[in-house]
Every structure is written in C-alpha cells, then in structure tokens.
Structure 1
Amino acid sequence: MKILITGGAGFIGSAVIRHVIENTQDRIVNLDKLTYAGNLESLADVSDSARYSFEQVDICNRSELDRVFNKHNPDVVMHLAAESHVDRSIDGPAIFIETNIVGTYTLLEASRSYWSSLAAEKKAAFRFHHISTDEVYGDLEGPEDLFTEETPYAPSSPYSASKASSDHLVRAWFRSYGLPVLITNCSNNYGPYHFPEKLIPLMILNALEGKPLPVYGNGTQIRDWLYVEDHARALYTVITKGYVGETYNIGGHNEKQNIDVVHTLCELLEEYVPNKPEGINFYKDLITFVADRPGHDVRYAIDAIKIEKELNWVPKETFDTGMRKTVQWYLSNESWWNRVLNGSYSRERLGIEGKK
C-alpha cells in the first residue's frame, strides 16, 4: 500500500511511520505542516528509506492537498494531524477550531474528490482512517464504567470539542457520500519522542534538572495509559483488517492516577539516576501540587474488547514495562530532547519553511 499520513512528524504519527517502514513493505507519504510539535528528527531512523517521502503541507490548504493526492495516489489516508494540548486549547481555542475542524473538513473533501476519481478496484480498496481521542466522551462517573464505542459524546475542553466535531464530520462523510472511513479513539499515549509539554516527559526532564514536578489539583485524575508503539500497531491493524464505517476504541488496560504515574517516574529515576541535582534527597520531593485545570475530567478508561475480539489486537506493553522503556529512552536520547528544549529543532524547521 501507499499510505498518506497527516501529522506524521508528531508524536503518534512518527511512531506509525517508524512502525510501517520497519515492519512492512508499504510506502509512506508524510504530510505535515511542521507546527511547534512537528519534529522531523523523530523520523531520523527511517527518513532515508526509499519508501518514505515528505510533503510540508497545511491540511487547511485544499489546492496543496489536491496536488499531493494527484502526485502520490495513496491507497489509504491516516489522519493524525491535530492540535492536541488541552491547556493550549483553553488559552487559545481558535487554532484548534481551524486545524481540527476546518482542516478535517478540507481533508475529507480532498479525499472524497480523489476517491471519486479512482477506478472501481482502487475505489473499493481505499480507506480514510481518522485517529481521535477518548476525551470526546468527557469523563466517567462510576469507578467501574468504561468508554465503549457507543458512549455518548460529552467533551469538556475546546480541544476535545474540536476532536468530537471532527469525528462527527467523518461519520457524516461516510453516511452522506459513502466515503469508506474508519475511526479510532485512543487513551493517553506515552513513550519515545513525546513532546516535553506532556505529563510524562515533562516530569522526567524536570526531575533530571531538579525543577518542580507540577501536578494538577490533588493528582487523583485517572487515565488509561497506552504505549505509543502499541498504538501504532493497533492503527495499522485497523487499516488492514478493520471494517468500513466502524469505530474502534484503543486502550492500554493501564488505569493510573496522575500522582501514581509521577511517583512511578520518581522511583525509576531513583533506580537509573541515583546522582541527583544538588540539594535533592529524593525525586519525589520535587512534586508540587498546583491549581487544577478548568473543567478537568476526573477519569478516562477504555473498553477495548471490540478491537481485541474483531481484529485480534492487544497491547504488548504493561504499564511497568512501557514506563521503563520510556524512561530509558529519554535517558539515552538527551540530544533529541535538548534540541526541543533549546529550540534548535524549531529554528531548523523554520529554515525548511523558508526554502519552500
């Protein structure tokens, strides 16, 4: 197959590209605007492959999307491009509306136009896979409740509301136009190449520098944690085995309170990096509770039985094995995250933009 991946320089998108290049014979077209969280260095291990190509394109730019479709003739679209940080959406929701709603609409229309022009066999095989989040469901009330594919939507933040909107658009294009779509909603991802504003890499890097470890409220918010490489396998499974028009929830079976996640990271750093910054006795002493986020959801948890039964996918990593791999990766890849923190990856990205 030739797979067009939007947002392929992001955290999950780059994991999908690495998985496909390293484990299949499929070809990849990475379409990414290269916003602040887009980092081509996350693809350094695969970017020299003859089966990989890159297009710096904004998904809101219809003429450029048409050019990419006509040039590359993809068999599958995997739509991961999105603004995804809840705090940023609360501070400035406009870009979330533009990218996640208008961008998805524009991509759907470009995909529909391309799909409509295909010969019968290629048209029947084409797939549009929209990758979304469990945050569209809001939060859960009972301690035993789980998000299923039938859970009503109740988004709490501008981010989750924009993703819910994009999900609805994708379903409407399936119902109204017959575009062969698939939707997945995942739980919280973690693992290598995660942008340092997110909880787990932020805690690791702050601890290494002896900085406070900020935890919202009392830290009792519960999330289901999914190792990003498990998610990449699941997404590839959906495009190769999933049924058109279906939604699949993808979770890691790892429900943890945020404070317990931070404590686990502190314990792993005690094991791997016992020599701490000056004045620090224990990494856990750096934990600092801060004012809670507005509208903060209390608990997310995924029921992933559908993808397990229908498509035979289960996560390989437990919370313990995935967290160990994640901490070890950050300790072994200081050059990657240092270039993110000091902005040099971004300055080089701007250089790429200037050459277009």
Structure 2
Amino acid sequence: MKSNQNGDLEQFFPVSIYSIQPNKVNDFRIYIKRGNNYVLLTNKKEAFSLSQRDRLYNLNIETVYIPYNEAESYDRYLVENLDKILYDENIPLHERSKTFYNLATDLSYEVINEKLSSDYKFKDLLNVIDQTIDFLSKPENLASVRKLISHDYYSYTHSVNVFVYSAFLLNQYNYDKKDITYIGSGAFLHDIGKSLIPHHTLNKPGALNNKEWEIMKKHPEYGIEACSNLSLSYKTKFVIRNHHEKLDGEGYPDRIKKIPHYVQIVTCCDIFDALTTNRVYANKRSPFEAFKLMKDKMHKQINLDILATFIKFMGKSPETVHSE
C-alpha cells in the first residue's frame, strides 16, 4: 500500500538500504535524497553494490528511495528475496522485521482491495507465508515484529497481526510447515469476507442494530465466496468460515462446537488483536486487560490451554490460566 500521500509533489517512497540485497540486478531505480532533490544512485538492470551500501551507512544514510511507479517491481523483488533478507544476520533484526511487516501489510492491503479477483496475489501470499514461518518461530524475532504491530484497527493490518500470532502459536504446538502454510493462509484471509460488507455497516462507530449485525455475521461465508476461484486447502477454508465459532456453540455462522484445534488458535489470536487495537466503536485494551477479559468472560468459548500458551509467550500473564 505505497500510496502517494502528496500527489505530484512527492513521487518516491522510502525504503531501508538493508531491504535491498547487495550485488543483485534489480528492475527498479534507487535514489538518494539531497535536500529537496532526488539523485539517481542505480538505474534499472543495475546492481546496488555492497560497497555502495557500506558507503551510505558510513555517511549515516540508511534510507533510499524508489519511484512510486516502480513499486510493483520493488514488491516483486521483496516477495522473491524475502528469505534472503530475513535470514541475513548481517542485517539488524529490527530492519529484517520491518521489511517483513511492511511487505505483508502491503500485500494484505492489495489482497483485500482486489477481493482476490485472481490468484496472482494469493500465490505471493503463500510465498511470503512459506518464507516467514521459520523466522516467526523464534521468540526474539517475534518480539522484534511485535514492536511494529499496528494498534489502530484496519482489516489489512489486523490480518497480518493475526497471521503473526497464529504462526508462532502453531509452531509452539509443533504443527508442520505445510500445515502452518495452509492455516497461516486462513489466518491471513480470515476477514476477507468483510470486503463484501457495506462500508457504512463495517465502519459504524456505534453498536450495530439487529439487521446490521446479521449482515456482519455473514462475513465468514462471504470470505469463502470471495476465495471461490482459488485452490484453497480445506484447512484454509475451515479457518475462514469457522474463526467466529465458539466452544459453547454460540458462535457463527454454523453454531458448531467441534472446532479444529488450529481454528481455535486463529480465533484466540483474532480476539486478542481485536481487543488490543483501536476500533471505531471501542478503544484498545492493554494486553493485560485483553487476556484477563478473555479468561474471565470467554472461558467457555475459547480454548484456555491455547490462551495460557499465548499469555506465556507474550510475557504479559495477568494470572495463571487453568482449564475449567
């Protein structure tokens, strides 16, 4: 989502020098900024060299600029090279984390706004998920990504946040990489059906009336409809359709009680992120407040073992959580 906020006055977007692999030929131009002017550093089909990066770093320049009209080429480069960036320990961890989070957010924005009209972006999504599973399995990496997580609710950032939390928890429960890719895809796409909900209902600042609430509860079904042209695994579909089901049978759309464990993981992450972000109808809660609310008020609806594992890794445990 590299929107040009300043119209024709600003035709470049900033990126970290660490997001560009040295000595690799790129299909986009790279500029540096001098005063109010942008100066070409490397042209298309030229490599950004390691010596150039080191020279910029020594000059305290860690940001370069890409033309907005070449954003697609830059994102394509990131999708294809994300694993090389994430696992390059010569790059500061916070820079690797930022590259992942920004790319995932951009991709989520595009997927949601295109309503998955083709499987092109979905393949990119699978690629990014596959490349980041191992990275997100390590607590120190997750802690770095957590610092970047948005606390204002947008569908595209919420989707990324839920994926990040879910990927880590799935690793904690020893799901294999293939399953995490399928389930992570569902976490990323769990709210895609909201793209088919009327804007005035989706963003209403106050409580929904009964008619509006019934419309809102359709979004898991709409999500399956939005993805109907994609070859999704059954686990991906289960997450999209069932992420609002509850263990007491009071969820929606099907009011089922037998919910797959992996869906329960995504549900827990979905609730936590919703509670800890600012929404149009509610202010964010602290992690402490969110976990306490989930334990005290939702203990019959969610899996408390998953909640306890979530609390443990977040390091924000308000109290010991016991299964009831």
TM-score (norm 2): 0.29
Higher strand residue share: 1
Higher relative contact order (CA 8 A, sep 6+): 1
TM-score (norm 1): 0.27
